[in-house]
Copies of this chain bind each other. A is one copy, B any other.
Amino acid sequence: MTVSEIARLLGGTLHGDGSREIRGVAGLEGAGPHDLTYADSARALEQAAHARAGLILVREGTAIEGQTTLAVAHPKLAFIQSAEALCPPVTYPPEIHPTAVIAPDAELAAGVSIGPNAVVERGAKVGAGTRLSAGVVLGQDVRVGSRCVLHPRVTVYPGAQIGNRVVLHAGVVIGSDGFGYVFAEGRQHKFPQLGKVVIEDDVEIGSNSTVDRGSLGTTIIGEGTKIDNLCQIAHNVKIGRHCVIAAQTGISGSVEIGDRVVMGGQVGIADHVRIEDDVMIGGRGAAFPGKIIRQGSAVWGNPVRPLAEYKRLNAHLSRLPSLAQKVKELSEKIVDL
């Protein structure tokens, strides 16, 4: 694409040479004369003055002397859009590898692509254009929608339901038994794990993460929610729409999470917590059982507190040795008095 064609696609104000040919996208440092990049911070703009990029996306009202720039409302978002245009996603030929093991009554829609050694068990249905990569296992009666990508070795337990355009990275497990036991008569008795699991449209889940089925109810990951690697989603959890949950986070049983909730890495949410819409939880944050985190709040720490309180507490904590010293001195002064 030429710079002018990209300007037409994205809109915005072009400064510089519209005839340049752009073939790909790159970071600011690595970009060459045929790469598009972006600069959306003061520091990035400084670097951008010396960049070799063919085209730099910048904020509205900005230009960089000597560079070809396109000023747009949201440079990073425009960068994503141009990457989608310039770097088309990997496509998979609509073929079923001869080593795949497909049950005779499984239903595969048009254009399904199945890699080597994948297994599709009885009663499973796979939607149009979906890719099952090498070694994927779909259990009995699983439903997978259209245009999904299941990367190698994803395992889906029987009965799980997966929407459209879902991406599951390598090693993800969907629908394994929840963890519930009753101790009696000297041993652990397993509580029934008979519920469902539903992964809605446009969800993406990172490598080796695990999502348990409901015990009696249903585990739900809402539309457009993104989950990073090595996360654990326990039984009966309900996660809303368009959430972002970073790596190694664990969500315990029966937690309810609203829409557009953001969690940093290694967060731990105990059972029966309720997290309302638009909450932000900082990395390593932890919530006790039954806690309610109110709409729109930003919380940090273990247990989680509002960000301002968390910072103040941390500052006081750092000064604790000097506080103790002060108390000691006061004590001595009082004795003198």
Contact = CB atoms under 8 A, between A and B. Distances in A.
Contact of A170 (B134, B173, B186, B191): B173
Interface stretch (A59-67, A106-114, A261-269): A261-269
Nearest to A116: B101
A247 B248 CA distance: 11
A22 B30 CA distance: 57
Copies of this protein, total: 3
A165 to B, nearest CB: 11
Contacts of A169: 173, 176-177
Given A242-B187, A320-B317, A324-B319, A155 B179 contact: no
A144 interface: no
A316 B327 contact: no
A188 B264 CA distance: 15
Contacts of A170: 137, 155, 157, 173, 176
A313 interface: yes
A226 B179 contact: yes
A303 to B, nearest CB: 8
Interface stretch (A11-19, A44-52, A124-132, A210-218): A210-218
Contact of A270 (B139, B283, B313): B283
A176 B206 contact: yes
Given A25-B216, A188-B224, A208-B210, A268 B270 contact: no
A152 B321 CA distance: 52
A221 interface: no
A197 to B, nearest CB: 12
A240 interface: no
Given A135-B137, A260-B183, A80 B242 contact: no
Given A207-B210, A313-B321, 7 more contacts: A155-B171, A173-B207, A173-B229, A177-B206, A248-B250, A316-B320, A330-B331
14 contacts: A27-B216, A30-B217, A77-B182, A133-B137, A151-B155, A155-B207, A179-B206, A183-B244, A188-B226, A207-B210, A208-B208, A232-B248, A234-B247, A250-B265
